[in-house]
Amino acid sequence: MLDLGRREFITVVGGAVAWPTVARGQQQRRTAHIGVFSYLRENDPEAKVYIEAFLKRMAEFGWSQGSNLRIEYRWTGGNAALIRQYAAELSVLALDVVLVAGGSHVGPLQQVTRMLPIVFVQVADAVGSGFVESLARPGGNATGFTNFEFDISGKWLELLKQIAANMTRTAVLRDQRNPAGTAQFGVIQALARTVGVAEVRPVGLQDPSEIERGIIEFAREPNGGLIVTPNGLAIVHRELIINLAARYKLPAIYPFRYFVEGGGLVAYGPDAADQYRRAAVYVDRILKGAKPGELPVEQSTRLELSVNLKTARSLGVTVPAMLLASADEVIE
């Protein structure tokens, strides 16, 4: 009797010890329901690159779309009405976490929910925009990855001046509603005279007609150049901007490599796809119980310089040999 009772006790205890292990395994195999909320259009080639980078990294953590990962995609193409509409839709879908691309999308989503965990990418000024309390301790429901320190804005001007030595005027394409765009414009304006640039003119990005009108008006006077700041609208309308720069013979610098691959003159900025890979790490941690407010906002640490020599020749500018030697990518 004693032995039987002891065996029964061991069986019961063993089952009690084993049960949490089984439960954990079941929990890990649950279907995670996440959102992707992006400023890009769904058919943009860069959108495919970014999502593939994100999903590949998620798969390394055991999350596979169609198996235990369900994704709600919302692509806005920078359309303000769609941003508001999709933010409201995502807020009521009982999602585990949302991957948000672009500062123009984080704010509207936070306006409708402060409960839904957010991991953002390609945001220029998370603190100044009010998305987080600080980089080290974000607090609230959001964390993620920022693109740029404001100091890089001055570097864009310096690089462009090295290539286009005759440039005495520059137009800065930026979103005036975005605090980061205003700050970047201020840095460029403050540095301009020290490098021999007398005029710094803002050009809005709200729609193609505003972009075209601003660049055409600026190009009426000689010795001009363009600085395109990192913004979802600039990225969505990048083909138009690159074509206008070519048509009016304006040397231009851009924030990402793919502008140069699309015909732009020079780009200096981070590898955007890398932020999506890193974002997968945070999404995985949140799915496993981490709180976004306790995950520090991380900044891009490696910047890439890309140059298109074919475009330089068409514009009649010479890229210094020292600059070419330090470039990460040179398109002949």
Q: Quick one: pLDDT band at residue 27, thresholds 50, 70, 90?
A: very low
Fold agreement (27-148+271-302, 151-270+304-331): yes
Q: For 173-182, write each residue's pLDDT tens digit.
A: 998 877 777 8
Q: Over the stretch 303-326, which tens digit does the pLDDT of each residue have?
A: 899 999 999 999 999 999 999 999
Report strand pairing: 69-75 vs 97-101: unpaired
Closest CA to 305 of 331, 266, 275: 266
Model confidence over 292-306: pLDDT tens digits? 999 999 988 788 999
Strands 266-270 and 303-308: antiparallel
Topology of the domain comprising 27-148+271-302: Rossmann fold (3.40.50)
**Residue, of 226 and 22, whose pLDDT is higher:** 226
What six digits make up the tokens of 133? 């309390």
Average pLDDT, rounded, for the chain: 90
SS (H, E, C) 53-99: HHHHHHHHCCCCECCCEEEEEEECCCCHHHHHHHHHHHHCCCCCEEE
- For 151-270+304-331, which CATH superfamily applies? Response regulator (3.40.50.2300)
The HSE-up count of residue 246 (CA atoms within 13 Å, CB side) is 19
pLDDT, tens digit, 9 for 90 and up, residues 180-222: 778 889 999 999 999 999 999 999 998 999 999 999 999 999 9
Mean pLDDT of 115-130: 92
pTM: 0.85
Residue 29: which pLDDT band, with cuts at 50, 70 and 90? low
Quickly state the pLDDT bin for 129 (edges 50, 70, 90): confident
280 burial (CB, 10 Å; 0-12 / 13-18 / 19+) is buried
Arithmetic mean of pLDDT, 6-28? 39
In this predicted structure, the answer to whether residue 149 has a pLDDT above a threshold of 80 is: no
Nearest to 104, CA basis, from 76, 65, 66: 76
Average pLDDT rounded to a whole number, residues 121-138: 92
Instruction: Give, to the nearest 10 degrees, the angle between helix 80-91 and helix 103-112.
Output: 50
- Enumerate the domain spans of the chain: 27-148+271-302, 151-270+304-331
Q: Residue 194: its pLDDT value, please?
A: 95
Percent of the chain residues topping a pLDDT of 90? 80
Is there a contact between 204 and 176 (Cβ–Cβ < 8 Å)? yes
Alpha carbons 233 and 229: distance in angstroms, whole number: 10
